[in-house]
């Protein structure tokens, strides 16, 4: 089970909506949906806060990445950081 599925299952077991969880984390509900849909991953700090709110530890992936303050995202990307290429 990937991180997104773990988040969704745990959130539903705790009877929380995406909106409520997002409010507790200080993010938009769309962000929770993206995490659960495996479009992107939360930061290590957000994972720690998720674990505190949901009363469940979540795996940060590669510990070396976590030590550098990066989430292990594999093939995923941050679409809002993508650079557009323009033709002249």
What is the topology classification, in CATH, of domain 3-74? 434 Repressor (Amino-terminal Domain) (1.10.260)
Calpha distance 40→27 (Å, rounded): 14
- The CA distances from residue 51 to 22, 26, 41, 57, in Å, are 13, 15, 14, 5
* Alpha carbon of residue 56 to chain centroid: 14
pLDDT digits (tens, 9 = 90+) for 26-70: 999 999 999 999 888 899 899 999 999 999 988 756 544 444 444
Residue 73 has pLDDT above 70, yes or no: no
- Phi–psi pair at 25, nearest 5 degrees: -90, -15
- pLDDT tens digits for range 1-23: 788 999 999 999 999 999 999 99
């Amino acid at each position: 089970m990937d991180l997104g599925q773990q988040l969704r299952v745990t959130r539903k077991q705790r009877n929380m909506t995406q909106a409520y969880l997002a409010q507790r984390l200080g993010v938009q509900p769309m962000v929770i949906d993206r995490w659960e849909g495996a479009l992107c991953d939360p930061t290590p700090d957000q994972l720690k806060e998720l674990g505190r709110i949901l009363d469940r530890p979540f795996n940060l992936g590669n510990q070396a990445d976590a030590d550098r303050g990066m989430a292990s995202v594999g093939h995923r990307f941050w679409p809002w950081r993508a650079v557009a290429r323009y033709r002249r």
